[in-house]
Amino acid sequence: MVKKMKRIKGLSLHVMPFSEVQDLTIAQRVKKILNLVLGNKIVILHGRLRAEEEARLIEDTMALVDHVKNFKGIELAVIEPNLRDKNMMFKVKHNIAKRLVGDNTALTVIGPATVVKEIKRDPKKLEVMLG
């Protein structure tokens, strides 16, 4: 018996450098990301959103779930370097760089829940499971 292989149709990744969203307001950033996600794209953002931006992203996502047919929400995960074991000097340098050029040492993955079933996250890796 031949096993049928499941094929993923039209998987689209959008890699976004942090500079693309750096100068935008919270609302504009979230809107830009959600527009891409609504177009069934998985967004890979070079950098990470601030905590309040992540909360806003969840809020706006929930409002869209209510109003956009077949939109069920997002999967979101961030991976960033583990600074726990680094010395104080390294942490200071890292923080200064972060303030000057933004946090581009992290990677944020945001995808529509209909495409991304789950993002398994542990401190060192992300595993994106497609639905």
Binding residues (CB under 8 A) for other proteins: these are 50-52, 54-55, 58-59, 61-63, 65-66, 72-78, 84, 113, 119-123
Smaller CB separation from other proteins, 16 or 79: 79
Q: Work out the burial of residue 68: count CB atoms within 10 Å of its CB; fewer than 13 is exposed, 13-18 middle, 19 or more buried.
A: exposed
Smaller CB separation from other proteins, 10 or 123: 123
Shortest distance (Å) from residue 54 CB to other proteins = 4
* DSSP element (H, E) containing 128: strand 125-130
Smaller CB separation from other proteins, 4 or 87: 87
Please, which residues bridge with residue 112 across strands?
Answer: 74
Closest of 79, 76, 77 to residue 125, by C-alpha: 79
Shortest distance (Å) from residue 45 CB to other proteins = 13
Angle at CA 70, nearest 5°, toward 65 and 73? 40
Shortest distance (Å) from residue 57 CB to other proteins = 8
